[in-house]
Structure 1
Amino acid sequence: MGSIGEEESSLLEVEQSLLQEVKLYAEDGSVDINGNSPLKDKTGNWKACPFIFANECCERLAYYGIAKNLITYFTNELHETNVSAARHVMTWQGTCYITPLIGALIADAYWGRYWTIACFSAIYFIGMVALTLSASVPGLKPAQCIGSICPPATTVQQAVLFFGLYLIALGTGGIKPCVSSFGADQFDHTDPSERVRKSSFFNWFYFSINVGAFVSSTVLVWIQENCGWELGFLIPTVFMGLATVSFFFGTPLYRFQKPRGSPITRVCQVLVAAYRKSKESQTLLFETMDRKIEHTDGYKKIFAL
């Protein structure tokens, strides 16, 4: 009897030690940079968040530092009419809001959030460099007006400018849909204490967005109009470079969720399955081996739509 009791107590100790060991690791399916289960005290949580906040703050500062005053740049520096400038800016901003669909699809289906943010941040930075060069290099911007004569931008000058702008639009499409979700990935939703921290994360995340937008809408706009567009575009370019570097610095601390396949594929599978089931008999649809489920016509209108 004594030996049995000792075996039971040793088994309990082993179980308790195993449970404690499990609690040391995140249990939400995430992995660390090496593909292993991440240790809670070394990855994720608030340790990883400053790098994400810095990335988002600098990215928003760079974006609004361009978008807020871009019509003025087109009219004053490229000598375009207000109508033409507004058309260019609205088309560019519309593209910035469409490209996140591409970024979200790539992140969910193929690359994951981390690599999507990393790659598109590099694209964003290249676009910022091209835009800054178009405003700084004499041969890449139109000559100054002489009296009422304002030479228009050449084809090459426009090509460099729009190359930079639309690289920025593509870059923001990879960052915008992923960075907030990537920040949420740093908190284990199976841990009650980390769930509470996740809600606080979003408060600080949107605070960082507003800080970047406020600085760009005030300080950068003033610099562009009073100190020159070269400096006005160079500053957000530097900040975008800092955003990219900051994001990479946090790599050892991040938790990563693996791609789970294209959501478009899953939606299509549901629609195809629903269509096929609609052709089957009611017996197959509403009966099981041990009970009969009452038929309803409540969803006919949904499928009719």
Structure 2
Amino acid sequence: MEEKDVYTEDGTVDIHKNPANKEKTGNWKACRFILGNVLIVSPTFFLHYCLIGGPGPAENGLVSPVLLGNECCERLAYYGMGTNLVNYLESRLNQGNATAANNVTNWSGTCYITPLIGAFIADAYLGRYWTIATFVFIYVSGMTLLTLSASVPGLKPGNCNADTCHPNSGQTAVFFVALYMIALGTGGIKPCVSSFGADQFDENDEAEKIKKSSFFNWFYFSINVGALIAATVLVWIQMNVGWGWGFGVPTVAMVIAVCFFFLGSRFYRLQRPGGSPLTRIFQVIVAAFRKMRVKVPEDKSLLFETADDESNIKGSRKLVHTDNLKFFDKAAVEIQSDSIKDGEVNPWRLCSVTQVEELKSIISLLPVWATGIVFATVYSQMNTMFVLQGNTMDQHMGKNFEIPSASLSLFDTVSVLFWTPVYDQFIIPLARKFTRNERGFTQLQRMGIGLVVSIFAMVTAGVLEVVRLDYVKSHDAYDQKKIPMTIFWQIPQYLLIGCAEVFTFIGQLEFFYDQAPDAMRSLCSALSLTTVALGNYLSTVLVTVVMKITKKNGKPGWIPDNLNRGHLDYFFYLLAILSFLNFLVYLWISKRYKYKKAVGRAH
């Protein structure tokens, strides 16, 4: 086998910083390590292994299954807190509906903002592997403190009666310190794990490149295995056994995930950090403004670029020149004052075409990124308004068992677990016949379908609330805590949200990784995650504004503590209208987007 066939061509190295050997690293070589995680948190993969007789989804493109198990455990821990957090805040910290909902969305939003920190560190200095390795310890420390805050006398909320507790300021402070330690820890995991997994495929190898597209589907599938267990087993433990056990179990799961992550180290391919992406961006901006009066030549081949096939940016291939955002091409125009000596240039005066195209790629992604914020606002309702709506309904499943309202999110997870393989194995091949696109749908088309489905999810939730309020009105049940209307009427809205996730969130993961410059993939993955953060913050703003406006003149408002006297249906319809308007904007943006092209080998 020739040397070029033995080693990857995308610039990746192994854990010892040697060129990554295709035979010994990447792909699904770490499959043996998944069994430990499977036995704990991923029965679906285990059954596939035992019944079918193979490594399961790994053969269809899953790289480093241990990564998927690690993410599965991390998601188990995250959803084990977030799914039922609104009920903890109400029952143990004595917060009202609106306050608890806002605290959940604020924390969840922070969990999707901190990835910008982790992504910058990964791309600029540590690389994805070492960033994950560092931040998991912060995450586990936060989980441990959270468990202690819910179980250790003196730290856990005191003065409890049957329904609620009255914690002191110190107990509340410990809880929120733990919660935001977790938010910081997840900042180094979220933007790196999906990109790190995709890094295990060499884009210059056609066989491996085909597998990469499926990776994102199965990656999201593994996330929802963790979410499924969180929404069922963990929520039940929290509501029936105790919050200490409810937080302790995912803490142990995360510790086990960390151990297996490190055990698979010798099989990983590591992308070398390319230096500060923000520095390179500002260099292009500064150089372009310095040459405002310089004319860009008609022949774009005259623009400055490195002479060989490799980019001068570590871990990055060259990018082909594009005609959009032409102003920044001025940064690559070579003039006499640039004084190139011995091949060295001042990057604050002259930038390569690839460096200019990095900035263009980021700017081009921003409009698509912005349209994901409203979708994330819709998604955030599962942990807030859907739960509060379910709290007012009959939660009995049989005579003696009550299902916690937060556990209804398991139907969202079931929907994801159903639609992910269906999309990967059936919809893509079918769509491919009509679109002639190897992915079936383009990434932008896939995301657009999800946006449409999310509109129907909000309409469905609004219709259910209308029916529920009609019952309250007709039976004068305004002060009745729960009405005799089964909570399982909420299932359709959860199923629709899950379907929308498969199209929009997975499409977004793949889109931002694929369209990101090679040396900025962690940053762009973090950028895609910030839509969830801003979606949660937007939900907080909407709730605050809606309550301020609708509580005038002594009215209870749309979302009072007693939802029977409110109009939660109006809030759902407001989100449906915003989603529809957002979709129209998305159509306009997506029609004008041009996909990037990369050439050559990575440095």
TM-score by length of 1: 0.83
Residues 1:266 and 2:273 are matched in the alignment: no
Distance 1:277 1:138 in 2: 66
Which of 13, 24, 41 lines up with 2:6 in the alignment? Answer: 24
Measure how far apart 1:151 and its partner are: 5.8
Matched, 1:286 2:286: no
Equivalent of 2:200, from 176, 186, 205?
186
Match of 2:249 among 235, 240, 245: 235
**Identity across the alignment (%):** 59
CA distance in 2, matches of 1:243, 1:188: 26
- Please list, as runs of the form range in 1=range in 2, the aligned pairs for 1:148-297 lying within 5 A after superposition: 152-280=166-294, 282=295, 285-286=296-297
Cα distance in 1 for partners of 2:211, 2:157 equals 52
Contact (CA 8 Å) 2:142, 2:178: kept in 1 or not?
A: yes
Q: Which of 104, 113, 120 matches 1:98?
A: 113
Q: State the Cα distance separating 1:82 from its structure 2 match.
A: 2.8
- What is the rounded CA distance, in whole Å, between the counterparts of 2:209 and 2:180 in structure 1? 38
Distance 2:229 2:207 in 1: 34
Residue 3 of structure 2 aligns to a residue in which SS? helix
- Confirm or deny: 8 A CA contact 1:134 1:140 kept in the other structure: yes
**Partner amino acid for 1:36?**
N
Instruction: Report how far residue 213 of structure 1 moved.
Output: 1.4
| Alignment match, 1:47 | 29
**CA shift in 2, pair 1:268/1:143, >3 Å:** same
Aligned to 2:94: 79
Q: CA deviation at 1:197?
A: 2.1
C-alpha displacement of 1:131 = 0.2
The whole-number CA distance in structure 2 between the counterparts of 1:34 and 1:88 is 44
Over 3 Å counting, the alpha-carbon distance change for 1:116 and 1:299 in structure 2 is: closer
SS of match in other structure, 1:139: coil
Comparing 159-168 with 194-203, greater Cα deviation is found at 194-203
What is the DSSP-based 3-state SS (H/G/I as helix, E as strand, rest coil) of the residue aligned with 1:118?
helix
Task: State the Cα distance separating 1:78 from its structure 2 match.
Answer: 2.1
2:17 corresponds in structure 1 to: 35
Task: Write out per-residue CA displacement over residues 27-73 of structure 1, whole angstroms, 9 at most, x where no aligned residue.
Answer: 22111111111221111111131110111111111101101111111
TM-score by length of 2: 0.43
Structure 2 CA distance, aligned partners of 1:99 and 1:50?
25
* 1:121 positional shift: 1.0
Taking the aligned partners of 1:85 and 1:258, their CA distance within structure 2 comes to: 42
Structure 2: unaligned runs, 5 residues or longer: 31-63, 303-322, 331-603
Cα deviation 1:148-184 (Å, max 9, x = unaligned): 9x66322321222112101110111111111111011
Q: CA deviation at 1:81?
A: 2.7
How has the CA–CA distance of structure 1 residues 196 and 161 changed in structure 2, closer, same or farther, with 3 Å as cutoff? same
User: How far, CA to CA, are the matches of 1:147 and 1:129 in structure 2?
Assistant: 27
Q: CA–CA distance in 1 between the matches of 2:156 and 2:266?
A: 42
Instruction: Determine if contact 2:159/2:167 at 8 Å carries over to the other structure.
Output: no
Q: Report what 1:121 is aligned to.
A: 136
Distance 1:151 1:27, change over 3 A: closer
Relative to structure 2, which stretch is displaced further, 25-34 or 130-139? Answer: 25-34
| Structure 1 runs (4+) greater than 4 angstroms displaced | none
Q: Which residue of 1 aligns with 2:81?
A: 66
User: 1:133: which partner in 2?
Assistant: 148
Name the structure 1 match of 2:160: 145
CA contact (8 A) 2:135 2:186 kept: yes
Structure with greater Cα Rg: 1
- Taking the aligned partners of 2:161 and 2:192, their CA distance within structure 1 comes to 47
Give the partner amino acid of 1:286. Answer: P
Find the aligned partners of 1:39 and 1:204 in 2 and give their Cα distance: 24
Q: Which whole-Å CA distance do the structure 2 matches of 1:117 and 1:287 have between them?
A: 45
User: What is the alpha-carbon root mean square deviation over aligned residues?
Assistant: 2.4
Q: Offset of 1:135 from its aligned partner?
A: 0.3
- AA partner of residue 89 (structure 1): V
Stretches of structure 1 lacking an aligned partner (at least 5 in a row): 1-18
CA distance in 1 between counterparts of 2:84 and 2:101 reads 11
Partner of 1:7: none
Structure with greater contact order relative to length (CA < 8 Å, sep ≥ 6): 1
